[in-house]
Amino acid sequence: MHLARLRPEAQPHPEAHRILATHYKPGDLNEARLRMAHTPEGATLITNPVSRAPGFQIGNVFVMAGVPVVMQAMLDGVLPRLKGGKPVLSRAIVCNLAEGTIAKGLGALQDRYPDLDIGPTLVPPHGYGVSLVLRGTDAGASRRRRDELKSLIRELGDEPQEDTGAS
């Protein structure tokens, strides 16, 4: 989506314009309100049962209101459109090694398993070290890779800890 398509000089989506025109009293649909009807070319509207200003979907991007109660009402209408996949499993392994110390072995592990996302995050609550988060959709494969990561950490001189905050 190119941002130029959302600039004020763009034309409003015809259906979004009609929705807003029927919502506001004659003369109240000013330029600022009309901007709420602007969508990228090819967008599908998202119904807004609360304030009527529609959101839109373009590809796998959903743009909705920022007011939580309005966004929730819009999301209720969008949920049937969402296509789910396998749940992504996440496990964090915490160690007291510097990221630079584990980077080479972590890179090799990621190269062996490109279908598994592996990435470090800082662990201020745990002190110095990293929390290595493994994500994947296959529980068995994730467990094997977790065990391999723990072995790598042990080889580098630290004892890995499971972070119970991950799912």
CATH topology of domain 3-81: Molybdenum Cofactor Biosythetic Enzyme; Chain A (3.40.980)
Ramachandran quadrant class, 151 (left: phi over 0; alpha: psi -120 to 50; beta: rest): alpha
> pTM of the predicted model, to two decimals?
0.54
| Cβ-based neighbour number of residue 131 at 10 Å | 20
Q: Is pLDDT of 167 > 50?
A: no
Each residue's pLDDT tens digit, 56-95: 999 889 999 989 999 999 999 999 988 888 888 988 898 8
Residues 17-58 have pLDDT tens digits of: 999 999 999 999 998 999 999 999 889 999 999 999 999 999
Spell out the domain ranges in the chain.
Answer: 3-81, 89-163
- Report the CATH number of the 89-163 domain: 3.30.70.260
One-letter amino acid for residue 97 of the chain: L
